[in-house]
């Protein structure tokens, strides 16, 4: 379940720069403090689902802080899943950027940003064709990359990921961001994770 829950959150860290590369969109704005996890600057995370959610993020560490674009991202994490997750898995992402004391919700542009993905399992199959080995470091640590995801505990020791060089608009080169990821199946919420982090583009 690491790919369907935590890995989506990790992907969000890498997809935010690309989401910002489109034309200047219409923005949704809210004042800081209207939601939890409103920390500005520095990495933070929390589970945002109720106690009944079967998938829980137990630990997450991301370095450097701020995240550098381009650069290397070191991530370690642990997830516990109390239920086997099968297709279709729906993921809803909300991506926000801080502007003074306001949080601006970034829209979905070319399937990146604050988007809804109705079938994560199909997306994973497109990225990693069934029958092919899972990419490193998932393969080494026995973390699945296709549905169904069996119940159990999954751990990712500190591992390095490359953040690609993405050309960003000057008005969104650097900043503080929040991402909320909710994974569900058939209307049942399985996991909810919130992230707060800073980006720095060279």
pLDDT band of 172, cuts 50, 70, 90: low
Per-residue pLDDT, 23: 39
Angle at 8 between CA 165 and CA 188, to 5 degrees: 160
Q: pLDDT tens across 108-137, in order?
A: 887 778 999 999 999 999 999 999 999 999
Query: Contact, 15 vs 127, CB < 8 A?
Result: no
Unique residue bearing structure tokens 């080995």: 133
Q: Give the up-direction half-sphere exposure of residue 130: CA atoms within 13 A in the CB hemisphere.
A: 7
Model pTM score? 0.79
Residues contacting residue 201 through CB under 8 Å, at least 6 positions apart:
17, 68, 69, 166, 168, 173, 174
Instruction: Convert the pLDDT of each residue in 131-163 to its tens digit.
Output: 999 999 999 999 999 999 999 999 999 999 988
C-beta contacts of 182-186 below 8 A and 24+ residues apart: 182/48, 182/49, 182/91, 182/92, 183/4, 183/5, 183/8, 183/55, 183/85, 183/89, 183/90, 183/91, 183/120, 184/89, 184/90, 184/91, 184/92, 185/85, 185/86, 185/88, 185/89, 185/90
User: Left, alpha or beta for 190 (phi > 0: left; psi -120 to 50: alpha)?
Assistant: alpha
Task: In whole angstroms, give the CA distance from residue 2 to residue 55.
Answer: 9
CA distance 30 to 97: 10
CB 148 within 8 A of CB 85: yes
Render pLDDT for 93-115 as a digit per residue (tens, 0 to 9).
Answer: 999 999 889 999 988 887 778 99
Provide the token pair at 87: 């297709």
Of 22 and 94, more confident: 94
């Amino acid at each position: 379940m690491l790919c369907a829950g935590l890995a989506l959150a990790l992907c969000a860290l890498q997809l935010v720069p690309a989401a910002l590369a489109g034309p200047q969109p219409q923005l949704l704005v809210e004042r800081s403090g209207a939601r939890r996890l409103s920390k500005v600057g520095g990495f933070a995370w929390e589970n945002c689902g109720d106690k009944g959610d079967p998938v829980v993020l137990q630990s997450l560490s991301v370095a450097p802080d701020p995240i550098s674009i381009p650069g290397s991202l070191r991530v370690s994490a642990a997830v516990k899943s109390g239920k086997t997750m099968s297709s279709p898995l729906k993921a809803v992402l909300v991506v926000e950027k801080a502007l003074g004391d306001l949080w601006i919700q970034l829209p979905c542009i070319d399937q990146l940003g604050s988007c809804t993905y109705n079938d994560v399992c199909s997306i994973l199959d497109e990225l990693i064709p069934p029958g092919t080995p899972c990419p490193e470091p998932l393969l080494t640590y026995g973390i699945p990359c296709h549905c169904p995801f069996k119940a159990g505990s999954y751990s990712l020791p500190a591992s390095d990921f490359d953040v690609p060089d993405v050309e960003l608009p000057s008005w969104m080169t650097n900043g503080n961001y929040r991402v909320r990821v909710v994974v569900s199946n058939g209307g049942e919420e399985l996991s909810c994770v919130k992230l707060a982090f800073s980006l720095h583009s060279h």
